[in-house]
Amino acid sequence: MAGSPRHVGDVMTRAVVTVGRTALFKDIVQRMAQWHVGALPVLEGDGRVVGVVSEADLLPKEEFRENDPDRLTQLRRLSDLAKAGGVRAEELMSAPAVTVRADATLAEAARIMALRHVGLLPVVNAEGVLEGVVGRGDLLTVFLRPDNDLADEVRRDVVDVLFPAPVEPVHITVAEGLVTLTGRVRDATRIPLAERLVRGVEGVVGVDCRLTVADKD
């Protein structure tokens, strides 16, 4: 992986399996099984995303197939009960869809997933037209970056910028994504900044900052 992938557009899947509003329940299940996906964007004719139908949206049909829910369950799970009776994508989907733009950072996409409790985000343009999808697995691909790539980026974008003339060379070692910095530098105030910037490099798992400050004399 050349360079640091920083945006959704760097890691998203562009070939996307989708369904239309009128897709039937069984067709949705078949597509999920055929393509090994757990959710499908629902599109209108112009390619605009209007919702997402997921396995969680389909399961109420099985859950309530033989059960007659009590009054409390009916009040608490109105949406699930409605989906249990749905037969088309527009009746089953979660809408409006939780989406993201291609220029969003990976951290922003991860935050949206966590806050909205979704595992798949359609990637849309300014008009809401589908450009791709990004899932949890896509966001995790940054941790597959080779250690030497991480070391090169840390050297170029952090160490050489913050410590252009260290007292002794700053050594960078990376093992399984863990970055270790050692050496003596002149400015103590830059050490916390260096640790923070290294931690922000995509693919870094952790930082062990052992930089020390040279004696003034």
Cα dist from 179 to 49, 138, 170, 175, whole Å: 40, 22, 12, 7
Per-residue pLDDT tens for 160-180?
A: 999 998 888 999 999 999 999
Backbone angles phi, psi at 144, to 5 degrees: -95, 0
Per-residue pLDDT tens for 86-130?
A: 899 999 999 999 999 999 999 899 999 999 999 999 999 999 999
Backbone angles phi, psi at 134, to 5 degrees: -130, 130
Whether this model's pTM surpasses 0.85: no
Which amino acid, one-letter code, is at 201? Answer: V
